[in-house]
Amino acid sequence: RLSKLGEFCCDVFACFAGGNPTPDLLAPSLSIDQRAKLDHCKEHLDFAGDLVTVWILTATTKRQAKGMGALCEYFVSKERVGMVVTPAYSVYMVPPEAAFLEKLGLASKNFARP
């Protein structure tokens, strides 16, 4: 379940795509309550190194895909990524936009697709 500022966006499932092979499990519900610039996300990626885990969030149905698409479009239009902060980890929701992935150094990685 994915929400933004307390408002439901869509139901998603998370698939491990790469990085840290023994990550903490994601919470069953993620509430995006912050935005971050790409530079901030990149700093955290670089700092975390081998602890970074890449998850691919996929909408559970075509109907849910509309909500996910709208959320991604919002972040792209603002040139930001979504951020979920928990006591154990931070999750950056990065839209699958080529320019975002390039800037974060993720475009050349061979992450598994669900």
| Predicted confidence (pLDDT) per residue in 33-79, tens digit | 999 999 999 999 999 999 999 999 999 999 999 999 999 999 999 99
Confidence band for 90, pLDDT divided at 50, 70 and 90? very high
Q: What global pTM score does this model have?
A: 0.88
What is the DSSP code (8-state) at residue 88?
S
Give how far the C-alpha of residue 108 lies from the chain's centroid of Cα atoms, to the nearest Å.
Answer: 17
Mean pLDDT (whole number) for 72-94 = 95
Task: Say how far apart CA 1 and CA 13 lie, in whole Å.
Answer: 8
Mean pLDDT (whole number) for 9-19 = 94
Taking CA atoms, 81 is separated from 21, 38, 61, 101, 105, in Å, by: 24, 7, 23, 11, 15
